[in-house]
Structure 1
Amino acid sequence: MENVDTLKTDVSTPMFDRDQVITSIAHIGVSNFHRAHQAYYMHELIEKHNELNFGICGIDLLDSDRKIYNVLKDQDGLYTLITKDPSGVHQTKIISSIVEYFFGPENPIAVIERLANPDIKIISLTIAEDGYHLNEITGEFDLNHPAVAEDIKNPFNPKTVFGYLTQAFKLRKLRGLSGCTILSCDNIKSNGDTMRQSFLSYVSNVEPDLLNWLLENTTFPNSMVDRITPLTLPEDIETLKQDFLIDDQWPVVCGSFSSWIIEDDFLHKRPQWEKVGVQFVKNIEPYEDMKLQLLNAGHSVLGILGTLNGYKTVHEAANDEDFICFLKGYMDEEVVPVLDLVENLSIEDYKTTLISRFRNPHIHDSLSRICNESSAKIPAFILPTIKKQLAKNQIINRAAFVIAAWCKYNDGVDDNGKTYNIMDSISNKLIRTAALSHQNPIKFLQIESVFQDLYSNDVFTKKYLHYLGYIREHSIKESIIQFNKNSI
């Protein structure tokens, strides 16, 4: 912290005394996204509005998080946020809202005690989809998941967020303390409801005497989060050294657009985030659907199609007019008709902004990151559009084309003959089934954990089989060109 005052004047440095900040938010999962989003908003609120009562205690629970833990401990919780606008205007800011940091594998009891402290009013989460341990077929909490089963056997050395929270809330109850708000900031549908259902399911099976207390002493607001945050590249670290004389071991790069919408359901007094642009609403669903089915689905569309063509980044694919024409058609003809109107927000404006964000040449967001864990993303981002359109007997041509392209994607070879890795928790099944689909084309669509019973819908299946046959005989570029011409 003592080095901040020596930085160049074109770097925004903290304008408040961190020693005066009181920690009342514990955040589990100190990812790049958290540091670009929630920690950024909290920094802005502290700095611009002197709201010193909501500093963040960062907590990581996975062995794989040791590197970021070591980096941020070494940097006193400080890091650089590099914001890159499509116009070329970049901002460099030192974020200082993370004032404490704990690492679960190193000292699980210390983490449990910190979560149990009555000063903590909000426990927020970015633990990614797999951190919720949902059954891949039913979508319900999976008590038989190996990590969950291990927590049940060893409750004081937990591995999952549910194990930690259970022990922390047991202590709060025993000590006569109140509970707190659990705020999921993950990119999943109804994230607060999902967290509530999973946590209460865990508790009802493991600590049933705690259940009624939790029902009275916790809230789980849903939230919608939106900021494009790619992986940090070595050149980002080097640029900071060369241009700004900042030696940051793990800075964060993000786009300039940011949005955070939250259902206003907090147990205690919450931060006045609305002062820094956060929107509070009664019902998150229409905002959530718009974001998941336009931004996240759009990413997946560009990721799958772009990878097959040999592109490496989102902005490469988005600056290909044939690809963006296809994506715009998907949004206009298949997504927008199933979206509810969003108060005070134009869907057309959102789409326009979205295309600009995808095309941002300064954000080197890799398609491999976008395609990572597609077996979880496709059901969340694209299948809801397909199901709603089928229910209304409306167009599903582009969605069927994308699913067919995803089948070909899992062959692992692009149209230039170059191989790429399939990074997915069920990669073996995806690769094997895609291979079998060369002889039995419907086979891929029968992966129940992804598609459920979609293969039984004759309207969709006919389209899917038609496009899969064409895509397997032609390059993805040629296939998209002919599709855009209505020639296939």
Structure 2
Amino acid sequence: VHSYESMKIRILNGGHQILANPGEILGVEFISGCMAHPLIGPFFRKIAMEEIAPHVDPVPGMTPESYVDLIDRRFSNPEIVDTVRRVAFDGSSRHTGFLLPTLQDALSKGTPIDGLALAEALWARMCEGTREDGTTIAPNDPIWDKLTAAAQAAKDDPQAWLNQRDLYGGLADNPRFSDSFARWLNQIWADGAESALQGYLQT
């Protein structure tokens, strides 16, 4: 049961965060719409296959890669109406529970982390509280005010976001992660989320 649960948490629950944050920034309403987006859907798939699956154990009858395919189909199904806002709620517990353990494993094993770092940068951008079209993102986390203050400070100093030790702990001190995160967040603010997504997909 533990391996099944780990697979679900890291790929399905983690994947939801990977999709919902850029979706909210870019004004996409539903998860299926994120999957249909020419950059957000491939972003999920590339991270899941290259950066998450290597840290997930297979279970009887299912490799991590085949589970990614299964979740890809599920997320893409327009008959499953799942809003980006619902999925993005409470990122402060979802990122820490669903994505950061994989990032920790990847850093300790020396495997790729650029997509995971970009996912954190997109969350930081979302928590600034506006979409790229200028509309306001309504508070969507129990600690929204704290996140928004950190996100606004991070526009000039990306490390201000990672210095939320209750979220990132020692990850904030890992230069491989913090350098990648800073590069992505600066690119998002300078050139937009789609530019950063495109940059990652070309690597």
Note whether the superposition's TM-score is higher than 0.5.
Answer: yes
Maintained 8 Å contact 1:307/1:367: yes
The reply on whether 1:470 has 2:183 as its aligned counterpart is: no
Provide Cα deviations, 1:165-196, integer angstroms capped at 9, x if missing partner: xxxxxxxxxxxxxxxxxxxxxxxxxxxxxxxx
State the match for 2:24 in structure 1.
307
User: Map of 1:422-433 to 2, 5 A cutoff?
Assistant: 422-433=139-150
2:50 matched to 1:333?
yes
Partner in structure 1 of residue 117 of structure 2: 400
Question: Quick check: 2:155–2:186 contact (8 Å CA) kept in 1?
Answer: no
Shift of 1:396: 0.4
The 1-side partners of 2:126 and 2:188 are apart by 10
* Cα-Cα RMSD: 1.2
For 2:80, the aligned partner's letter is I
- Which one has a larger percent strand, Structure 1 or Structure 2? 1
More helix, by proportion:
2
Determine which of 91, 106, 123 is the counterpart of 1:389.
106
For structure 2, list consecutive stretches of 5 or more residues without a partner in the other structure.
none
> Could you tell me the TM-score, scaled by structure 2's length?
0.96
Residue number among 455, 459, 466 corresponding to 2:176 in the alignment? 459
SS at match of 2:104: helix
User: How far apart in 2 are the matches of 1:452 and 1:485?
Assistant: 30
How far has the Cα of 1:431 moved from its partner? Answer: 0.6
- The structure showing larger relative contact order (alpha-carbon pairs under 8 Å, at least 6 residues apart) is 2
Matched, 1:413 2:130: yes
Within 5 Å, which residues of 2 pair with 1:42-441?
A: 284-441=1-158
Shift, 1:345, TM fit:
2.1
Give the distance between the partners of 1:345 and 1:434, measured in 2 at CA.
Answer: 39
Secondary structure of the structure 1 residue equivalent to 2:62: coil
* Structure 1 residue 438: Cα displacement: 2.1
The structure number with the bigger radius of gyration is 1
**d(CA) in 2 for partners of 1:290 and 1:299?**
13
* CA displacement 1:68-93 (0-9 Å, x = unmatched): xxxxxxxxxxxxxxxxxxxxxxxxxx
Contact 1:306 1:367 in 2 (8 A): yes
Displacement of 1:412 after TM fit? Answer: 1.0
Aligned residue pairs, count: 203
Unaligned runs of 5+ in 1: 1-283
Contact 2:187/2:195 (<8 A) preserved: no
> What is the Cα deviation at residue 328 of structure 1?
1.0
Distance of aligned partners of 1:440 and 1:483 in 2 relative to their CA distance in 1, 3 Å threshold: same
Q: Distance in 1 between matches of 2:67 and 2:55?
A: 15
2:158–2:181 Cα contact (<8 Å) kept: no
Once the two structures are superposed, what CA deviation does each residue of 1:107-139 show, in whole Å capped at 9, x if it has no partner?
Answer: xxxxxxxxxxxxxxxxxxxxxxxxxxxxxxxxx
162, 178, 188: which one pairs with 1:445? 162
CA distance in 1, matches of 2:149, 2:49: 34
1:321, distance to aligned residue in structure 2 (A): 2.8
Sequence identity (%): 26
